[in-house]
Amino acid sequence: MGRDSAVLDPSREFAYTLADFERVRSMIHRHAGIALADSKRDLVYSRLARRLRALDIETFRRYLDQLEQAPESDEWEHFTNALTTNLTSFFREAHHFDILRDQLRSLPPGKRILIWCCAASTGEEPYSIAMTACEAFGRLDPPVSILATDIATDVLDTAQRGVYAMERVESLSKERLKKFFLRGGGSNEGQVKVVDALKRLVTFRQLNLLEPHWGLKGPFSALFCRNIMIYFDKPTQAEILQRFVPLIADGGHLYMGHSETLSNPPGNIQSIGRTTYRKRSVVRS
Ligand SMILES: C[S@@+](CC[C@H](N)C(=O)[O-])C[C@H]1O[C@@H](n2cnc3c(N)ncnc32)[C@H](O)[C@@H]1O
């Protein structure tokens, strides 16, 4: 028996080999662009073991065979949901929201401002954008529409509900809590709910950044693409970045995650510091 086909830990509930891990790695890379490190071997087991249990399948090999043989199956959604990392928080990397507030205030009045948050996870990021927009315009109905997308459908369901455990909002100011959240009572004790006015500013939609067509027109005055590029390999990052450029409005901003500094930004994208980039306005003669 080859090393790759040896069962890694016979005490486990489901047979799982190194070859299975390599297969998962290549499947999620092809499907979602996610490059899983060697260190994720055990994590992959625990995340997918739940699916094998739910489907009553005894080995990873059989589970992966079934998945590969059914490219249209709903199981791909569960597979993807299980393997994505959805860590996020309200006003994460807070400096971006200060920059956004100033940016929104400086835009000429008139047109509705479009913002795309392309890895929205459980919603904390798009709702932080929405709160910033309300604060920038001093009203609960600012002229802003936020498109919040993610590949994972389970996190989008949470985002759409807008219900969070109290601990998730503990770091927010009293003023924000009061203005933007409703406190749950009775069986909802310990939870808060985003107010409807904030929800109205955000549209949630499933979107895989690897899809060849996103079906988006833009142009977006701000594009939040934070803490997702790190999961992609360099060619995938470069390709997605190139596809962002025409969707960003002239003078619009691209917000990246703290460890996602662009070493080689496309020609008309320039750094304005703190992992924030600006698309140069085209001077028309
Ligand atoms: C670590 S979270 C970042 C959340 C948020 N942007 C933040 O910075 O707090 C990364 C998100 O990217 C999503 N994701 C992973 N691969 C994706 C893809 N190919 N297309 C769209 N979203 C993807 C995951 O589902 C996850 O919710």
Rounded to the nearest angstrom, the distance between the alpha carbon of 10 and the centre of ligand 1 is: 33
Calpha distance 114→144 (Å, rounded): 6
Tell me the residue type at 95: H
Q: So what's the pLDDT on residue 238? A: 92
**Position 273 pLDDT exceeds 70:** yes
**Position 1 pLDDT exceeds 60:** no
Note the pLDDT tens digit of each residue in 178-190: 999 999 989 999 9
For residues 169 and 163, the answer to whether their CB atoms sit within 8 Å is no
Calpha distance 239→235 (Å, rounded): 6
Rounded to the nearest angstrom, the distance between the alpha carbon of 209 and the centre of ligand 1 is: 10
Residue 164 and residue 261 in one domain: yes
Residue 41 and residue 181 in one domain: no
Least confident of 4-13, 67-76, 143-152, 262-271: 4-13
Q: So what's the pLDDT on residue 81? A: 97
Whether 88 is covered by a domain: the verdict is no
The answer to whether residue 47 is catalytic is yes
Q: How sure is the predictor about 2, in pLDDT bands with cuts at 50, 70 and 90?
A: low
Q: So what's the pLDDT on residue 45? A: 97
* Nearest CA residue ID for atom 13, ligand 1: 119
Q: So what's the pLDDT on residue 281? A: 79
**Position 250 pLDDT exceeds 60:** yes
User: Of 47, 176, 183, 274, which residue is the catalytic one?
Assistant: 47
Q: Which two tokens stand for residue 145?
A: 């529409």
Q: How sure is the predictor about 285, in pLDDT bands with cuts at 50, 70 and 90?
A: low
Q: So what's the pLDDT on residue 283? A: 61
Q: So what's the pLDDT on residue 52? A: 97
Domain that holds residue 109: 95-279
Q: Domain tally for the chain? A: 2
Residue 52 and residue 146 in one domain: no
Beta carbon of 88 within 6 Å of any ligand 1 atom: yes
Pairing of strands 269-271, 276-279: antiparallel
Whether 90 is covered by a domain: the verdict is no
The answer to whether residue 161 is catalytic is no
Tell how far CA 1 is from the center of its chain: 41
Whether 37 is covered by a domain: the verdict is yes
CATH number at residue 19: 1.10.155.10
Rounded to the nearest angstrom, the distance between the alpha carbon of 121 and the centre of ligand 1 is: 6
Residue 159 and residue 25 in one domain: no
Average pLDDT over residues 245-271: 92
**Position 261 pLDDT exceeds 90:** no
Q: So what's the pLDDT on residue 10? A: 82
Note the pLDDT tens digit of each residue in 3-55: 687 777 888 999 999 999 999 999 999 999 999 999 999 999 999 999 999 99
Pairing of strands 220-225, 163-165: unpaired
Whether 39 is covered by a domain: the verdict is yes
